[in-house]
Structure 1
């Protein structure tokens, strides 16, 4: 016997029959509250999405997510199997995709703390206002949905590894990084600059970084630890016939030492001239004076091959400068 004896007369009688059957099963069941009417949006039928609420200053009672969790969701959404700049704000793929090859990258990842993220967002907005209509400044700080994104310091150029080489590359670069003699360290932002990409028509808004270590292990180098890691990565790139970053073969270290940076925004076809450089003066405002005091921890190196991210930890030879009270980021780290 059917649970509900639907009538074939009409939809209204069907609803009446079903309602009568339900009432007969539990005469004492409380009646459902009347459905609330949805408040009309002042922006029409499609409600405007709310801006993300600022993070609360109170620490969550939940334990922080392990860093490996974010590696599982590090890949971006693929919109097309062909290079279509219209899907990426006019950007073009630097290394054309080859079926069977794996786009790869070696880098240091940084998850800004909540207050750091807010400060950087204000900085990008101020620079964007300063350059005006000359170019549209896009932010690297948040996704299209407003979610905070991690930032990075590159240790390689975009690489393209074959299927037969990718596992061997990961094994060998992990060994090279472990053998670099670099322990966990931290860096600090020093200057706000424009950087013209040599491979495209993009201009990046970057924070130049320098080691915040008090040791003089590198002599006159401002980034002794990053230079050692870069040398290991470039050596491995050459071994696999890949392009190297910052250095020409047999080139001097000085120019590469000052090239390490964190990109926080980008624009298309923005000339780096007196007018655009003047926009960078906002970095010297009192609102951003704390940025140079930040200690960005470097506990390890990320190796991304395809959509798989591997973490290569550095030995904890020194205590990271980020204190426990500062260890909560927007990502729960």
Structure 2
């Protein structure tokens, strides 16, 4: 059953709520309901995971069902599509700010591309807020025999890496294409966190992905094939025993991390690029006030989402990678 976000009516929006409103009046009751709603705690992360799948309405790639988008990674029967990412549900205020930024770019005149249309990632067709994410892997795929071992290996490696929760801030807006240049994305650029947590999590993800014969993200696709059978790899407690060796290839890829908030099938016009720069400059302070708390990594295999929490404390001498 879908969750529907009902908007308030015009009449309700015009009701003035003040500290002197009598709670026995209709206005007072409305104010009391609003205050109670605002005090509700956020839904737990695992609740959203239950609704992470979408209904499959076609057995083949049909761009007409997805706003003209084409599948970049072909579906292979028997393979489980897999993606590693950091999920983010902005607060109501943050959603409002991001919606304003996207809306200011939607109706840009485009003499160079008359079919340019900007689609938002922020809300569903019903207006319900959607989660955003930072990718930690390419779209990859595993066989039924591999998928559970892969997730177990990722869980062990993240726990052993001792990468603790951290906060991420944003620097501005930009337009970037996908590798095939079949879509362009309006993205929030990220500021490198003090802990270098994003680079470390990407390094951890890439190491596990490559050990399982898949290409890494933001790096040359050097694939390491394993000669071990699934049963043998399941017994391995950790990918490496030497902490120094594990982190020696850690690269600073801070400039490539981003969160997509809108997309288009057509290359952005010069007018749209210039307007994006102007919007970024005019809303610089607002953008910098938005903050993402990273506390877990998610692995989506097929329609199953596994949340892997980052260790909140590390016992001295117990960490595998010593960070």
Deviations 1:48-68 (A, max 9, x none): x99834999735355543221
Deviations 1:24-71 (A, max 9, x none): xxxxxxxxxxxxxxxxxxxxxxxxx99834999735355543221111
1:88 Cα shift?
0.6
Q: Which has the larger radius of gyration?
A: 1
Indicate the SS of the match to 1:120. Answer: helix
In structure 1, how many angstroms separate the alpha carbons of the residues matched to 2:101 and 2:304? 32
- Are the equivalent residues in 2 in contact too, given 1:124–1:265 (CA < 8 A)? yes
1:317 Cα shift?
4.3
Q: Does 1:82 align with 2:60?
A: yes
The partner residue of 2:45 within 63, 67, 75 is 67
Give the structure 1 partner of residue 145 of structure 2.
Answer: 164
In structure 1, how many angstroms separate the alpha carbons of the residues matched to 2:303 and 2:84? 13
Give the structure 2 partner of residue 26 of structure 1.
Answer: none
1:200–1:75 Cα change, 3 Å: farther
Give the structure 2 partner of residue 16 of structure 1.
Answer: none
TM-score normalised by length of structure 2: 0.73
The partner residue of 2:108 within 124, 130, 145 is 130
In structure 1, how many angstroms separate the alpha carbons of the residues matched to 2:202 and 2:5? 42
Could you tell me which runs of 5 or more consecutive residues in structure 1 were left unpaired when the two chains were aligned.
1-48, 218-223, 319-333
Give the structure 2 partner of residue 203 of structure 1.
Answer: 184
Indicate the SS of the match to 1:178. Answer: helix
1:300–1:50 Cα change, 3 Å: closer
TM-score normalised by length of structure 1: 0.71
- Are the equivalent residues in 1 in contact too, given 2:5–2:126 (CA < 8 A)? no
The partner residue of 1:188 within 142, 153, 169 is 169
Give the structure 2 partner of residue 299 of structure 1.
Answer: 295
- Are the equivalent residues in 2 in contact too, given 1:190–1:207 (CA < 8 A)? yes
Indicate the SS of the match to 1:312. Answer: strand
Could you tell me which runs of 5 or more consecutive residues in structure 2 were left unpaired when the two chains were aligned.
14-32, 223-248, 315-323
Pairs within 5 Å for 1:106-125: 106-125=84-103
1:130–1:283 Cα change, 3 Å: farther
- Are the equivalent residues in 2 in contact too, given 1:184–1:317 (CA < 8 A)? no
1:315 Cα shift?
1.7
1:257 Cα shift?
2.0
Indicate the SS of the match to 2:107. Answer: helix
- Are the equivalent residues in 2 in contact too, given 1:107–1:302 (CA < 8 A)? yes
The partner residue of 1:253 within 251, 254, 274 is 251
